[in-house]
Amino acid sequence: MIKYQAVLLLSALLVTACSQAEANQLEPKQLSEIEQRYLQVGNSHSFVYDVSRFDPEATTLSFKLQAYENGERSEEWTQEIYSMHAEEGEGLFSGWEEMIVTIDSPRLYEEEGETAIYEARFMLIEESGSMESSQRMELPNPKDDPFTSIANTTLDFEKEGQNLVVFFNGEEVSSGPAETEEGVAQIIEACEYVFVFRLEWE
């Protein structure tokens, strides 16, 4: 009997732990084919999340570009694209229904000389309206078309942040380096230019 109770208690603890982990993970929203087509018009990479029932402990969220040149962090091009803060007594996404992040590849724009234009957009949507912030960034134009790595689109709020898209020039990597910080570090070390678009929270 005692052994049976111990098994039940262990099972309950495992279920609770899994529930807590899932509560801090934000899965991408399942879109219809028509919604996906509409979202991809003019956008290279789009990430959509239903945040209406998501209540993480984090009180701030930032959408950032981290830029690197020849293995070193470039403060000239690194920038914060958008930042949001929870109101006192409310959750980070209180009142919002959807969060959309889009990142356009430079080849969608006319490239001029030594630079190329990237565009990133952050949106929050509710029933009565929306908030949008967009940023056009003039960055070095790699001699070759940049390779792209897209990370796992599930956001784990147990971590401090997550890469969404990594652009880099150099040899193509067979498996997605954006999946791990170690993979991104290898890309940064090996390539002339690396542009990491990511979300961070605390």
pLDDT at 84: 95
In this structure, the strands spanning 129-140 and 193-201 are: unpaired
**Global pTM?**
0.80
Q: What is the mean pLDDT of residues 136-162?
A: 80
pLDDT tens-digit readout, 171-182? 655 445 666 788
Task: Quote the pLDDT of residue 10.
Answer: 34
% the chain with pLDDT above 70: 70
Q: Residue 145 has what pLDDT? A: 62
Q: What is the pLDDT of residue 71?
A: 92
Residue in the structure block whose two tokens are 């039940």: 8
Q: Among 15-19, 152-156, 161-165, whose mean pLDDT is lowest?
A: 15-19
